[in-house]
A and B are shown apart, each in its own frame.
Chain A
Amino acid sequence: MSESPMPTKVGPDPTVHSGPTLGGGAALPRAGRGLERLFRWFSTGAGVLVLVVIVAIAAFLITQAIPALRANQANFFTSTKWLPNDVAHPRFGIAALAYGTVLSAAIALVIAVPVALGIALFLSHYAPRRIATGLGFVIDLLAAVPSVIFGLWGRDYLSGPVTDLSGWLHRYLGFIPLFGSGGPYGNSILLGSIVLAIMVLPITTALCRDVFVQTPKANEEAALALGATRWEMIRTAVLPYGRPGIVAAVMLGLGRALGETIALAMTLGATFGVSIDLIQVGGNSIAANIANGFGEANATGRGALIASGLLLFAITLIVNVAARAIIFRRREFVGGQS
């Protein structure tokens, strides 16, 4: 990989097309040059503006959070308590919320990724074209459903079946600490994760499908000509080629799961604790806690919520940057192939 030639062109380079290709490099007419300069200023300005907005948001959040963090009588990073509205002794910590955020997102991915890979492979390599188009459309529709609908559906419809499932898991797999609780069941990490899984499924599926259909025909034929079955061809040619893309798709799904607010606010138990148990009523996440708590919060309480939001912002930023870095690496790698 490392010694394959890098692609020379990555994106449109404004300098390449700045003059006419015919006519021996004659200058553009004045109007054309002015327009181009205007456009360059405009696009640079837009880019700078985005940065300014992000910095302004971060600065605002930090100034809002600092007084609350000063007043905090517990350790913000290690405490599992969330009592910022206690006027005499405000104390709050992010530990339980961050734990719940990461745990629910992780479980959601454990459920969603195999399903997404299966559907994506079906769409790219198994289904007849008409079915693939139809099913692809349905998946894209799923991505357009607002998360509050998923939340309502999870809370009012899915919690019954998940309660039954929890009992079943405890009866047969109760020796695993994940399913150790004897009840009560219902609004739990399991329910929240299942809803989250359904929500991250469309984007992960769509990205994986796009990666899989890009597998070079030449590589697929190389595998088939060696006598590979379709599944063996997928294992030798499609999956290895798509691995960076799969990782990126999973990370983008993870970004969505980490930031999801309202659906988790409606399906998690909103307790403050750190437990490995998935099925007992409980669980919380940073975003869900903000949605649940902002209404009744006093000034310190709002500051505490904003501080938690900042941490979430940092986590999702890291995840997204990592995903993009992987996608970018893959682009170089594919460019080096041709």
Chain B
Amino acid sequence: MNMAKRVEAVDVTAYYGSFKAIDSITMTIEPKSVTALIGPSGCGKSTFLRSINRMHEVTPGAKVQGKLMIDAEDIYDPRVDVTAVRRAIGMVFQRPNPFPTMSIYDNVVAGLRLNGVRKKSTLDDAAESSLRAAHLWGEVSDRLKRPGGGLSGGQQQRLCIARAIAVEPQVLLMDEPCSALDPISTLAIEDLIGELKDRYTVVIVTHNMQQAARVSDRTAFFSIESTGDPGRLVEFDDTTKIFQNPGEKKTEDYITGRFG
């Protein structure tokens, strides 16, 4: 079953109360690719990422304007069920956040259970295949009933990835998934991202430019004029182009470390 989908943002503007955090972001993210969002801190990378699965509006007072199409369906259409959107788009957060009271197994199948899957064999299969895809199976297969909170940080993050992909999402969003991890776990997750793009549309926020260069096919550079201004998309192109021959002076300054 393969359902990777195209993400198309058209003039996406997002607010926290009256504060405009990102302004008119327009970009198209192709299916089965890895797209990196880079830029200085506070430029709205997380905000844009969270507007792709409508998690932005979870913050009180936050709202999104513009259109966000997942394969031609506007997810901000009032008739769209927000929970259906989130079920179709997986998310991995900056800090690993497995459900602390649940076992490893229950964490992985949590999304399936929310979808109403009760059959044990289906859950077992999904748990195994997701944990294998997340490169965690070998380490936890003998202790699936133990709490997820007992794993190391890197293992917890892979558990969260397994939980996100267990429901076979169309798009996978990752917000600095390695920023709280040690270098070895980081490498493991970067390898994993390379494999995930065979099946999913992956969007990853990172403040680590080497990481963006290593894992992504396309890179979007976001920036702000000065604090208090909304974040804007400066340049969006193939990763090799962004890093070797950027079209914008601002991008070049950021890549070469003269800014940010």
Contacts and interface: CB of A to CB of B under 8 A. Distances in A.
B35 interface: no
Contacts of B97: 216, 218-219, 221-222
Given A218-B97, A221-B58, A226-B163, A4 B114 contact: no
Interface in A280-338: 333, 336-337
B174 to A, nearest CB: 11
Interface string B137-176: 0000000001101100000000010011001000000000
A1 interface: yes
A92 interface: no
A225 B115 CA distance: 13
A236 B84 CA distance: 17
Nearest to A333: B100
A228 to B, nearest CB: 5
Contacts of B147: 1, 3-4
B86 interface: yes
Interface string B81-111: 0011111101101010111111000000011
Q: How many residues of B sit at the interface, in one of the four size bands?
A: 20 to 34
B84 to A, nearest CB: 7
Contacts, number: 78
Contact of B99 (A1, A227, A236, A333): A236
Contacts of A237: 99
A225 B149 contact: no
B53 interface: yes
B55 interface: yes
Contacts of A337: 100, 149
B155 to A, nearest CB: 12
Of the candidates A226, A236, A333, A336, the one having the most CB atoms from chain B within 10 angstroms of its own CB is: A226
A181 to B, nearest CB: 44
B144 to A, nearest CB: 15
A106 to B, nearest CB: 27
B95 A241 contact: no
Given A221-B55, A221-B58, A336-B149, A227 B101 contact: no
Contacts of B99: 219, 222-223, 236-237, 240
B173 to A, nearest CB: 8
Nearest to B55: A225
Contacts of A224: 55, 58, 86
Contact of B111 (A4, A216, A226, A336): A226
A330 to B, nearest CB: 11
A240 B146 CA distance: 16
Contacts of B114: 223, 226-228, 232, 236
Given A4-B147, A216-B97, A222-B160, 15 more contacts: A1-B147, A1-B149, A4-B150, A221-B55, A222-B97, A226-B86, A227-B83, A227-B88, A227-B111, A227-B114, A228-B114, A236-B99, A333-B100, A336-B149, A337-B100
Pairs A-B, 9 closest by C-beta atoms: A227-B87, A218-B97, A240-B101, A227-B86, A225-B91, A226-B111, A3-B150, A227-B83, A222-B97
Interface of B: 53, 55, 58, 83-88, 90-91, 93, 95, 97-102, 110-111, 114-115, 146-147, 149-150, 160, 163-164, 167
23 contacts: A1-B147, A3-B147, A4-B150, A219-B97, A219-B99, A221-B55, A221-B97, A222-B97, A222-B99, A223-B110, A224-B55, A224-B86, A225-B55, A225-B86, A226-B110, A226-B114, A227-B84, A227-B87, A227-B88, A227-B115, A229-B83, A236-B99, A236-B114
